């Protein structure tokens, strides 16, 4: 993520990329102008829907209708920007995985409904879970689906780290 100086983030991404490590770039805090070197060294982009349209210079759907949005156009714009894979979070409406390397290049990840009391830390828990999922061999869409549960669970507690839990507690909370 971009909480460190952009030069530092770019150098870290370049070193990891050159070492064969997959790099996920979370454009947060959002910057609409990413250095070409950073984009080239990154494999996956993580943004929310508003950041995506601003970054790619495309229009948001009327009335926030992300179900009717042209995700094929977004995928092509994302590829033109330099990313073959991306996750676009939609807040309480779930997320969309754009993955031109997959047999299913556009995958809508359903939201996990909870009684949210505080969304502080939900983005961090989402990103951390995606990274853990990828590190354990999950496909990008599987990691994003798991992240939906973890971030939804985080919204049921107050604060960031205080609202995180362990795998057993999360499984128990969503057991059917």
pLDDT of residue 175: 82
Angle at 26 between CA 56 and CA 24, to 5 degrees: 105
* Catalytic-residue membership of 70: no
The predicted pLDDT at position 176 comes to 65
The CATH class for the domain spanning 1-111 reads alpha beta
User: Which of 137 and 91 is assigned the larger pLDDT?
Assistant: 137
Catalytic residue among 59, 93, 99, 124: 124
Contact 144, 125 (CB under 8 A): no
Domain positions in the chain are 1-111, 112-176
- Torsion (CA) 67, 68, 72, 77 in degrees, nearest 10: -90
Provide the pLDDT confidence category of residue 42 given band limits of 50, 70 and 90: very high
């Amino acid at each position: 993520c971009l909480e460190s100086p952009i030069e530092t983030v770019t150098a870290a991404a370049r070193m990891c990329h050159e070492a064969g490590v997959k790099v996920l770039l979370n454009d947060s805090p959002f910057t609409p102008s990413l250095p070409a070197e950073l984009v080239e060294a990154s494999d996956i982009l993580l943004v929310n829907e508003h950041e995506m349209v601003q970054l790619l210079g495309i229009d948001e759907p009327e009335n926030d209708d992300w179900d009717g949005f042209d995700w094929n156009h977004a995928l092509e714009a994302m590829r033109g920007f330099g990313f073959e894979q991306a996750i676009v979070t939609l807040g309480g409406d779930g997320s969309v995985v754009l993955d031109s390397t997959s047999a299913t290049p556009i995958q809508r990840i359903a939201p996990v409904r909870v009684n949210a009391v505080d969304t502080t830390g939900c983005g961090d828990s989402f990103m951390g879970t995606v990274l853990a999922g990828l590190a354990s061999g999950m496909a990008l869409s599987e990691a994003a689906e798991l992240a939906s549960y973890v971030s939804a669970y985080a919204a049921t507690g107050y604060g960031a780290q205080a609202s995180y839990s362990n795998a057993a507690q999360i499984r128990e909370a969503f057991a059917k």
